[in-house]
Amino acid sequence: MLKLYEKYLEVIDEYLKKCFEDQKPFIHCKKGCTDCCDRGEYPFSRLEMEYLMAGFVKLPVDVQKKIRQNIADLLVQKPAGEKFLHRCPFLLAGKCALYERRGIICRTFGLAAFDEVDGKKVVKLPECCKIGLNYSEIYDSKHGFVDMEKFQSFGTGNLLSHPPDLNYMTKELTKGINGLEFGEIRPILDWFK
Ligand code: SF4
Ligand code: SF4
C-alpha cells in the first residue's frame, strides 16, 4: 500500500506544482519560512501517518528522541476534547524532519484552496495571509475574506474565480482512489494518544 501511495504522491506533487505556478503572483514562500508548521492541528489520515512513521524509524536515534519529546510535551499541554493549535512535533530547528514524507496537507500549505460549502464554491486563503505572507495583498483583514476589488486591480486574470479541476482540500485528496485506502483522519497528535 505504501508503494502505491508513493506513486499517488508523485501525481499529487506534480499537480500541486502547477497550482503553485498558477498562483505564483501571491506566493511568498521561501526557505526558512515555517509559519505553516507553527500553528495547526495537521490532519493526517492513517495511510499518511503510516508513511510518515515508516520514515521516522529510519531517522537517527537522537532526532527520533527529540521528536518523541516534542510529542510527549504537546500531549501534556493538549486540552481534552478541544481544538489545539500547536507547532508540529516534526519541525526541528526550522526544518521538517521528514519533509519527503510530509502529509498531503503539508504539501498544500500556502495555496489558496477551493472548497464547496452548502453547494457554493468558496475560496480559502492560506492562514499566513494574515501575517503579510501568501495572498496578503488581497486579504481583507476586516472581514476575513478575499478583497475582490484589490484582487481585480492586480490584473492577474481569473485565478480565483476558476477553481482548478481537482479540489486539493485535504478531504478531497484523501478519498480512496485506485485501490488506495486512506483510512481515518485525525489531528496529528491524536495518533500518539
Ligand atoms: S510534517 Fe513537516 S511539513 Fe508537515 S506540518 Fe509537520 S513539520 Fe510541517
Ligand atoms: S505557506 Fe506561508 S508560512 Fe508557509 S512557507 Fe509559505 S509563506 Fe511561509
User: 85-121, pLDDT tens digit by residue?
Assistant: 999 999 999 999 999 999 999 998 998 877 677 777 6
Please give the mean pLDDT across all residues of the chain. 85
Return the pLDDT at 112. 84
Return the pLDDT at 43. 92
Which three three-digit cell numbers place residue 70? 516534542
Mean pLDDT of 149-156: 67
Considering every ligand atom, which ligand is closest to the CA of 34? 2
Annotate 8-73 with DSSP letters as a single string.
HHHHHHHHHHHHHHHTGGG----TT--GGGTSB--EEEHHHHHHHHHHHTTS-HHHHHHHHHHHHH
Return the pLDDT at 174. 66
Measured CA to CA, the distance from residue 184 to residue 86 in angstroms comes to: 21
Considering every ligand atom, which ligand is closest to the CA of 135? 2
- Which of 31, 33, 42, 70 is the pocket-test mutation for ligand 1 (most atoms within 8 Å of CB)? 42
Mean pLDDT of 158-166: 49
Mean pLDDT of 14-38: 88
**Residue 131 CA to ligand 2 centre (angstroms):** 10
Shortest CA distance to 49 belongs to which of 30, 71, 28, 66? 71
Number of domains in the chain: 1
pLDDT interval class at 150 (50, 70, 90): confident
User: Is residue 109 within 6 Å of ligand 2 at its C-beta?
Assistant: yes
pLDDT interval class at 165 (50, 70, 90): very low
Question: Range of 168's domain?
Answer: 2-192
Please write the tens of the pLDDT for every residue from 22-31: 888 889 998 8
Return the pLDDT at 18. 83
> Residue 98 CA to chain centroid, in angstroms?
14
pLDDT interval class at 69 (50, 70, 90): very high
Return the pLDDT at 121. 67
Of all residues in the chain, what percent carry a pLDDT higher than 70?
83
User: Is residue 126 within 6 Å of ligand 2 at its C-beta?
Assistant: yes
Measured CA to CA, the distance from residue 152 to residue 126 in angstroms comes to: 19
Which range has highest mean pLDDT (60-64, 125-129, 183-187)?
60-64
Measured CA to CA, the distance from residue 15 to residue 166 in angstroms comes to: 9
User: Is residue 90 within 6 Å of ligand 1 at its C-beta?
Assistant: yes
Strands 43-45 and 95-96: unpaired
- Which of 23, 87, 109, 111 is the pocket-test mutation for ligand 2 (most atoms within 8 Å of CB)? 109
Ligand 1, atom 3, residue with closest C-alpha: 106
pLDDT over 50 at 162, yes or no = no
Enter the DSSP assignment of 180.
B
